[in-house]
Amino acid sequence: MTDGNGARPGALMAIGGAEDKFEEKFILKNFFDLCGGKDARIAIIPTASKLEGTGTAYQAIFNSFGVQSVEVLPLFRRADANDPAAARVFEQATGIFMTGGDQNKILAVLGGTESLHAIQAANDRGAVIGGTSAGASALSDPMISLGKPGSMARSGMVKLTAGLGLTKTFIVDQHFHQRERLGRLMYSIMLYPGMIGVGVDEDTAAILNPGGGCIDVVGRGTVTIVDGSELKMYNPASVPHLAPMVFSNMVLHTLTHGCRYSLIDRELEMDRRSAGPDDYC
């Protein structure tokens, strides 16, 4: 799907957190390539993080790849996010990267600001938007704000709030198997069965291409797809708090590096041609 000027929206890269930053840096190198490689102009948003230097650490990595330009935008207050100078950086970016931390902080700072409008416009014209950990969760609308761990879907185990709105097709969760988050993603899809749940493991990325009709996977772990399009269940509002949900026809898919999921056919495509670190296919 293209906009009125014929541009195709850029991909969204949801990284499950704890991506390799010290050795092969495979996930981050993949983001760099998607953004245009050595012609890329990358903007880094460290808003979610409480740690000083998070943004500059990613800046050093992208510089080591030979990026044309990379800038850290310290957007920690709403006034920062409404600064026209920040919006101008996003207007020129071919890639925008959000660090991990707290996704609620991202929304508190960016929601409804000039920077968010500029980020959305950049993605509409083809810029790639990436986020790791909290930055991945914030991509969608609604987004998972907080929740309880567990492999079983239980009533009320997750809180969903407004996200950045870069996609209304997917609900993204991260640190997925490492923090046992299957239950809360399934429950999220019970509340929004028209959306697709995407659970991303650490050091793994789901490349979301809604315009191209697919999800591609790179990295060492798995991506879990939760499809509720044929879901049958009782009304969630009638189930006591944290009681197990009764449902059927929830479809799950497990993808590893090189796999592709078709959004059109709702089917897994086994594509193993893409080489990865340590030959982990």
Task: Tell me the sheet residues that pair with 159.
Answer: 146
Q: Is 59 a domain residue?
A: yes
117 is catalytic: no
Q: Is 270 a domain residue?
A: no
Q: Is 277 a domain residue?
A: no
Q: Residue 272 above 60 pLDDT?
A: no
Q: Residue 187 above 80 pLDDT?
A: yes
The pLDDT of residue 270: 67
Q: Is 92 a domain residue?
A: yes
DSSP summary character for residue 167: B
Select which of 140, 175, 177, 257 is catalytic.
Answer: 175
Q: Is 76 a domain residue?
A: yes
Please give the model's pTM, rounded to 2 decimal places. Answer: 0.94
Question: How far is it, in rounded angstroms, from Cα 141 to Cα 27?
Answer: 24
Q: Is 276 a domain residue?
A: no
Which helix H or strand E contains 29, and what residues bound it? helix 26-34
The pLDDT of residue 6: 62
The pLDDT of residue 269: 83
Among residues of the chain, what percentage have pLDDT more than 90? 88
- pLDDT single digits (tens) 55-67: 999 999 999 999 9
In Å, how far are 81, 135, 180, 248 from 88, measured between CA atoms?
11, 21, 40, 48
49 is catalytic: no
Residue 153 domain boundaries? 12-259
Question: How far is it, in rounded angstroms, from Cα 79 to Cα 61?
Answer: 28
- pLDDT single digits (tens) 84-118: 999 999 999 999 999 999 999 999 999 999 999 99
Higher pLDDT, 235 or 80: 80
The pLDDT of residue 55: 98
Q: Is 51 a domain residue?
A: yes
Question: At residue 103, what is the residue type?
Answer: Q
Q: What is the CATH number of the domain that holds 49?
A: 3.40.50.880
Residue 52 pLDDT level (bands cut at 50, 70, 90)? confident
Under a CB-based contact definition with an 8 Å cutoff, are residues 101 and 133 in contact? yes
202 is catalytic: yes
Q: Is 5 a domain residue?
A: no
Which helix H or strand E contains 112, and what residues bound it? none
Select which of 49, 115, 133, 188 is catalytic.
Answer: 133
Number of domains in the chain: 1
